[in-house]
């Protein structure tokens, strides 16, 4: 068995990396998935600094993708960047049995790991969360990243629950998007050093690194991946002044990506840059004219457009 950040995980050695991008799902005008564009985008992200991509997560419009579309995305992205970057499949959901089935399909597709979001709408107890994640994790040999985003799911995966889950052999990381540095501090305090903490918010990346975090699952890296990598590397090398300077430069982009519901702004940004990622599927709608003007102004100021 090999070591993952000092942990043994079913004969599989993997370091997810520090900068990963939560990839959008390109759609055609008829809102069908554009798999060719998805492959090109994945390649571009890796070429501009991303060490891995998360496929069919929140930014990838997971709630409105079918299981078949998700599995095909996993396959084509593995074919395109597998071996060059880590490919993490979003296989979480609010139905444990369905999440197990999708996780097993993702494993067959050759992904490097899976990300499991907190079950939304059901509002399970902490014990329910623990049993859900443990059951899904035990159905696969892949490394598992938890995903805590209570603003979307209406349930917060508390640090004590994460600590219990860290005892499951292949649960090795969490994407933390509660917005609470106190929660991050408590997680780092009680979890093994080998358990990786990732920021789920671009603007919280540097603070999370300062608290012992591993890196970020980014939206903004679609646009400023190289600079984000420079910021993370500067911090890792001890150049806090440079890391802070880059954070401040990037901050307007971070905020612009959330002028409305993610992934609406990043899709609008990519379309402005000449990518053909299309509009989001309903119930999301494309950015309004005012929102586009705000985004365009920030991107122009940053030299992106």
Long-range interactions of 264-272: CB distance < 8 A, separation 24+: 264/291, 265/291, 265/295, 266/24, 266/59, 266/219, 266/220, 266/222, 266/223, 267/24, 268/292, 268/295, 269/222, 269/223, 269/295, 269/299, 269/304, 270/24, 270/41, 270/222, 270/223, 272/296, 272/299, 272/305
Q: pLDDT (tens digit, 9 = 90+) per residue, 242-299?
A: 999 999 999 999 999 999 999 999 999 999 999 999 999 999 999 999 999 999 999 9
SS (H, E, C) 44-70: HHHHCCCCEEEECCCCCCHHHCCHHHH
Report the C-alpha gap between 199 and 55 in whole angstroms: 17
Condensed to tens digits (0 to 9), the pLDDT of residues 161-176 reads 999 999 999 999 999 9
> Please, what are the domains in the chain?
3-254 (3.20.20.70)
Q: What is the pLDDT along the chain (305 residues), one digit of tens a residue?
A: 333 433 444 444 468 999 999 999 999 999 999 999 999 999 999 999 999 999 999 999 999 999 999 999 999 999 999 999 999 999 999 999 999 999 999 999 999 999 999 999 999 999 999 999 999 999 999 999 999 999 999 999 999 999 999 999 999 999 999 999 999 999 999 999 999 999 999 999 999 999 999 999 999 999 999 999 999 999 999 999 999 999 999 999 999 999 999 999 999 999 999 999 999 999 999 999 999 999 999 999 999 99
- The DSSP H or E segment spanning 1 is none
Distance CA 54, CA 58 (A): 9
Catalytic residues: 147, 175
Cα-to-chain-centroid distance, residue 64: 17
Q: State the pTM of this model.
A: 0.94
Q: Which residues contact 114 (CB under 8 A, 6 or more apart)?
A: 88, 89, 90, 91, 92, 103, 106, 107, 140, 142, 143, 144, 145
50 neighbors 22 (Cβ within 8 angstroms) = no
Q: Report helix, strand or coil for 179.
A: coil
């Amino acid at each position: 068995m090999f070591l993952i950040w000092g942990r043994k995980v079913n004969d599989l050695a993997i370091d997810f990396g520090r900068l990963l991008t939560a990839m959008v799902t390109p759609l055609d005008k008829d809102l069908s998935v554009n798999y060719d564009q998805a492959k090109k985008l994945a390649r571009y992200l890796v070429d501009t600094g991303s060490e891995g991509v998360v496929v069919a997560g929140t930014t990838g419009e997971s709630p409105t993708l079918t299981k078949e579309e998700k599995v095909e995305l996993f396959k084509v992205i593995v074919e395109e960047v597998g071996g060059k970057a880590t490919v993490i499949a979003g296989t979480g959901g609010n139905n444990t049995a369905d999440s197990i089935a999708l996780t097993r399909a993702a494993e067959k597709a050759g992904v490097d790991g899976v990300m499991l979001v907190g079950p939304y709408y059901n509002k399970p107890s902490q014990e329910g969360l623990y049993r859900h994640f443990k059951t899904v994790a035990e159905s696969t040999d892949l490394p598992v990243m938890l995903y805590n985003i209570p603003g979307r799911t209406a349930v917060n995966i508390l640090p004590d629950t994460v600590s219990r889950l860290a005892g499951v052999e292949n649960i090795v990381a969490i994407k933390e998007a509660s917005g609470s540095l106190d929660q991050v501090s408590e997680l780092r305090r009680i979890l093994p050093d080998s358990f990786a903490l990732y920021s789920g918010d671009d603007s919280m990346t540097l603070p999370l690194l300062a608290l012992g975090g591993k890196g970020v699952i980014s939206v903004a890296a679609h646009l400023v991946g190289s600079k984000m990598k420079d910021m993370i590397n500067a911090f890792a090398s001890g150049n806090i002044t440079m890391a802070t300077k880059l954070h401040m430069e990037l901050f307007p982009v971070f905020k612009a990506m959330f002028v409305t519901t993610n992934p609406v702004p990043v899709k609008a940004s990519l379309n402005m840059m000449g990518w053909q990622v299309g509009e989001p599927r309903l119930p999301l709608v494309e950015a309004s004219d005012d929102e586009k003007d705000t985004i365009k102004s920030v991107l122009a100021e940053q030299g992106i457009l």
